[in-house]
Amino acid sequence: MRLEQLRGLRIGILGYGREGAAALDALLARVPDCKPVVWVESGAVPVKVPSRTGPFDHGLLDFDVLIRSPGIPVLHPALQHFRSVGGPIVNPTSIWLAERPDVRVLAVTGSKGKSTTASLLAHMLHACGRTVLLAGNIGVPVLEHLDTDAEMAVLELSSYQLADLEGRLHLGLFTRLFPEHGDWHGGVDHYFASKLRMVELLHGLPLLINARDPVLLEATELVPARVLGNQPPLTHRRDSALVRDGQTLLQSAQWPLLGQHNLDNAALALEAAARVGVDLQEGVAALRTFRPLAHRLEVVAGKDQGRGWINDSIATTPHATLAALEALQGRPVVLIAGGYVRPADWSVVLQHCRRWPLAGLVVLPDSGCDIAAAFVAEPETCRGEIRSVSNLDEAVAESASLAGTKGTILLSPGAASFPHFRNFEDRGERFREAVRTYRERSTA
């Protein structure tokens, strides 16, 4: 839907996070005669337009069009009722795609690794002289860039954004696929379907997948335009290196990202960059200058009396925690885990820890007790103590005690951050601050 189609309409903006705020600003700047109202179920609302606070209900029928912020479930009963009587519900990213069909869109999704892969791809394109916009779920609402002069856009798209997205993409990258966000989607089937909506948005153009992921491989087997990335003859990971045509392009020690999964991400990004004209060797050179994103296996402090501190707050599922542990394989790791209670399968982590036991485990509210119980039931998975704490400050102190002088302390919660933090970024920043405070006290 184009912005001009909203002229004179009563518009309900549902949610007022980054995307909702960007949608309101775009309307006020470009559709002066529209009538927007911001409606949030809880939290702060803007003062520059009328607003409502409280649960969504049949009052949505007061509006001609709804703009749905990504955090609002598409299956919310009130939204389903609005849709059933013919009411249009618009995704903010759909507006940008309609307004800027001239920009070539390279879209990245996946249950793990989409932010890093999108950032790697944008970094390579920029380093090789392309004008590129990096936006989407990575924290930059694309509606803030209606006037971009970029020749192409790298958009990270979550399942929340893809679920009802309309428009046209020019290349799709799919990193991993495993169950996630079951509470928002109402089950794994809807989550998988939302992710795979990318196929429809490509309209027959290539979908580049990580062929090392068996779930993703099976889920996309009927996609005619599927490209099997991260396996020969394309650029792929072999052990701890990127390889193509038998030639080693990059060793894991030659760049700052931890973990083999990040080499998988780099293989996809390199192939995507090549498909828009980037020379392979120039792309590899750009990879060497990339810096890790915050809260993703981020080293937050140097060696502290022999200990290392790593912030992986982005890990909101056990599968993500598993990837972090695999990246640190062979090190004595004290894991800090726990958060929002929702269905979660920790068996994948336990399986890893049977071979590579934790040096200790510190668990946080609210799911920490369940995680601790799973490890207690399999004592071979943790050589050290299991301790329960009430906050991150306590977690840092207890994990330092368990790690001794040679351990690595890893915050990789395997759970969402709320209700104790605003988001995973807030949780990661609070962890950094707790580590800084602990180190200052311990060296005073």
Query: pLDDT tens across 223-243, in order?
Result: 999 999 999 999 999 989 999
> In this structure, is residue 293 part of a structural domain?
no
Q: Is 111 annotated as a binding residue?
A: yes
Q: How does residue 407 score in pLDDT terms, banded at 50, 70 and 90?
A: very high
Mean pLDDT, range 168-186, rounded to an integer = 84
User: Is the pLDDT assigned to residue 395 strictly greater than 80?
Assistant: yes
Tokens read off for 145: 């860039």
Q: How does residue 429 score in pLDDT terms, banded at 50, 70 and 90?
A: very high
User: Is the pLDDT assigned to residue 207 strictly greater than 80?
Assistant: yes
Tokens read off for 392: 């991150």
Q: Give pLDDT tens digits for 60-119.
A: 999 999 999 999 999 999 999 999 999 999 999 999 999 999 999 999 999 989 999 999
Same domain as 330, residue 280: no
Residue 65 β-bridge partners: 11
- pLDDT value at residue 309: 94
- pLDDT value at residue 375: 98
Q: How does residue 421 score in pLDDT terms, banded at 50, 70 and 90?
A: very high
Q: Is 303 annotated as a binding residue?
A: no
Q: How does residue 47 score in pLDDT terms, banded at 50, 70 and 90?
A: confident
Q: Give pLDDT tens digits for 301-310.
A: 765 556 899 9
> Domain boundary at 287, 308, 338, which?
287
| Predicted TM-score (pTM) of this structure | 0.85
> In this structure, is residue 317 part of a structural domain?
yes
> Domain boundary at 287, 322, 345, which?
287
Residue 409 β-bridge partners: 309, 334
**Cα(159)–Cα(184) distance, rounded to whole angstroms?**
10
- pLDDT value at residue 304: 58
Same domain as 199, residue 346: no
Q: Can you give the residue range of the structural domain that contains 49?
A: 3-90
Q: Is 110 annotated as a binding residue?
A: yes
Q: Is 115 annotated as a binding residue?
A: yes
CB neighbours of 337 closer than 8 A, spacing ≥ 6? 321, 361, 362, 363, 364, 368, 371, 412, 413, 414, 415
- pLDDT value at residue 404: 86
Q: Give pLDDT tens digits for 234-276.
A: 999 998 999 999 999 999 988 989 888 999 999 999 999 999 9
**Cα(131)–Cα(122) distance, rounded to whole angstroms?**
9
**Cα(119)–Cα(144) distance, rounded to whole angstroms?**
18
Q: Is 35 annotated as a binding residue?
A: no
**Cα(26)–Cα(441) distance, rounded to whole angstroms?**
47
Q: Which CATH number fits the domain that encloses residue 434? A: 3.90.190.20
The total number of structural domains in the chain stands at 3
CA–chain centroid gap for 399, Å, is 26
Mean pLDDT, range 38-67, rounded to an integer = 93
- When the pLDDT of each residue in the chain is averaged and rounded to a whole number, the result is 93
Same domain as 126, residue 66: no
Tokens read off for 237: 């990971």
Q: Is 289 annotated as a binding residue?
A: no
Q: Is 384 annotated as a binding residue?
A: no
**Cα(116)–Cα(273) distance, rounded to whole angstroms?**
14
Q: Give percent of the chain with pLDDT exceeding 90.
A: 83
